[in-house]
């Protein structure tokens, strides 16, 4: 049964309820590590554009909310331009320069910048840890209980009782791991290693490409092997000392899957139409929130990982771009020239704006806008 899409007001509230706390967590990571290193903060903003609410604390930091809640920023002392290049640092008074971001050693600046994405990964770990403590961890063993006739698994020679050890070079510990690796590779030929009665066997399978629909009728491509587990899904609650390591491992798996999906798009193995932007994120947030709190916090954890991952990409204007420049600075023992940095940040800004425009057009296409316009035009 296809569920009805939630109303616009509900989607908007769910999106802001998911995104704004994650932006705050990200920026607070920058802010608190900067404070530890004695860096002054002039502004802490959630959202861009004109201020709609705010206050100034006793340290002189202006905490505010902008009218466009699609991000945020911390302006440290000495940040004299949006790219945080720290030009004209010598013009600052000595007491202000001592608290300036760019007056700090490069390793401190790198830690301050890396703290934002790290805070997002930590938030996801804590959410997953709460899920694992309450619900448990899926522990269904990767043992084949049934092979679908005519499936990719049957063609590859998989048999009931086989224990799958790896798929496409990825070791698997549970049946959920098998599904995750297979679903990411529709139509691809993959190597599968199984244990059959104590004997290791190397098989090859061309995964079937199938199109499935979620609860709201949205269609997506996945790979399918054609096997079922030997037992019903089982869940195991980890001990108090295990829950954080297990949640960390799960966060690493999700991050790796995101990186792999992005690489597949870059290399042409997946269509660029699968790239989504803020509008698609808002729709997903609203849909998951309409299913319940459990589903909503699951998507919040995924959004948090996505925010951390995207910000680590080595693109100027993003945290990863700053970290790349700091690595060059550490290797050269001096920063790149101001003009070179300025052109790099201009290019990074242009790339980000182009990506935002492209994903927005993709989002509108996924909502059927272009199809409807085509019908109207005849």
Catalytic residue positions, numbered: 27
Query: Torsion angle, CA of 131/133/138/141, rounded to 10 degrees?
Result: 160
Query: Torsion angle, CA of 25/30/36/38, rounded to 10 degrees?
Result: -140
Alpha-carbon distances of 361 from 150, 219, 274, 364, 374, rounded to whole Å: 39, 18, 11, 5, 15
Could you tell me if 331 and 118 are in contact, meaning their C-beta atoms sit under 8 angstroms apart? no
Q: How far apart are CA 200 and CA 182, in angstroms?
A: 20
- CA-based diameter of the chain, in Å? 77
User: Could you tell me which of 170, 174, 172, 173 has the C-alpha nearest to residue 191?
Assistant: 170
Q: How far apart are CA 153 and CA 175, in angstroms?
A: 14
Cα 146 to chain centroid distance, Å, stands at 34
Q: Tokens 């899920």 belong to which residue? A: 131
Count how many Cα atoms sit within 13 Å of the Cα of residue 193 in the half-sphere of its side chain.
11
């Amino acid at each position: 049964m296809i569920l009805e899409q939630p109303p616009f007001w509900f989607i908007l509230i769910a999106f802001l309820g998911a995104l704004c706390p994650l932006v705050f967590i990200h920026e607070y990571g920058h802010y608190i590590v900067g404070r530890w290193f004695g860096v002054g903060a002039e502004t802490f903003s959630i959202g861009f554009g004109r201020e709609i609410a705010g206050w100034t604390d006793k340290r002189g930091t202006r905490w505010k909310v902008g009218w466009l809640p699609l991000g945020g920023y911390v302006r440290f002392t000495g940040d004299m331009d949006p790219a945080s290049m720290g030009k004209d640092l010598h013009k600052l008074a000595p007491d202000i320069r001592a608290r300036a971001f760019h007056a700090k050693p490069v390793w401190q600046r790198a830690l301050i910048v890396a703290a934002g994405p790290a805070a997002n990964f930590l938030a996801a770990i804590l959410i997953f840890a709460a899920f694992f403590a309450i619900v448990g961890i899926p522990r269904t063993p990767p043992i084949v209980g049934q092979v679908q006739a005519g499936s990719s698994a049957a063609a590859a020679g998989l048999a009931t009782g086989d224990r799958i050890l790896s798929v496409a070079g990825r070791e698997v510990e549970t049946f959920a791991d098998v599904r995750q690796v297979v679903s990411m590779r529709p139509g691809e030929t993959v190597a599968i290693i199984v244990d059959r009665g104590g004997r290791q066997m190397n098989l090859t399978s061309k995964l079937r490409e199938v199109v499935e629909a979620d609860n709201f009728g949205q269609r997506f491509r996945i790979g399918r092997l054609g096997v079922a587990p030997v037992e019903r899904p089982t869940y195991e609650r980890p001990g108090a000392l295990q829950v954080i390591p297990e949640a960390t491992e799960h966060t690493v798996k999700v991050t790796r899957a995101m990186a792999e999906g992005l690489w597949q798009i870059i290399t042409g193995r997946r269509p660029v139409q699968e790239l989504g932007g803020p509008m698609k994120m808002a729709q997903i947030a609203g849909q998951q929130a309409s299913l319940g709190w459990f589903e909503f916090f699951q998507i919040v954890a995924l959004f948090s990982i996505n925010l951390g991952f995207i910000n680590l990409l080595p693109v100027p204007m993003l945290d990863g771009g700053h970290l790349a420049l700091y690595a060059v600075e550490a290797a050269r023992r001096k920063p790149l020239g101001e003009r070179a940095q300025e052109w790099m940040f201009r290019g990074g800004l242009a790339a980000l704006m182009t990506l935002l425009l492209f994903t927005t057009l993709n989002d509108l296409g996924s909502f059927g806008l272009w199809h409807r316009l085509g019908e109207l035009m005849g």
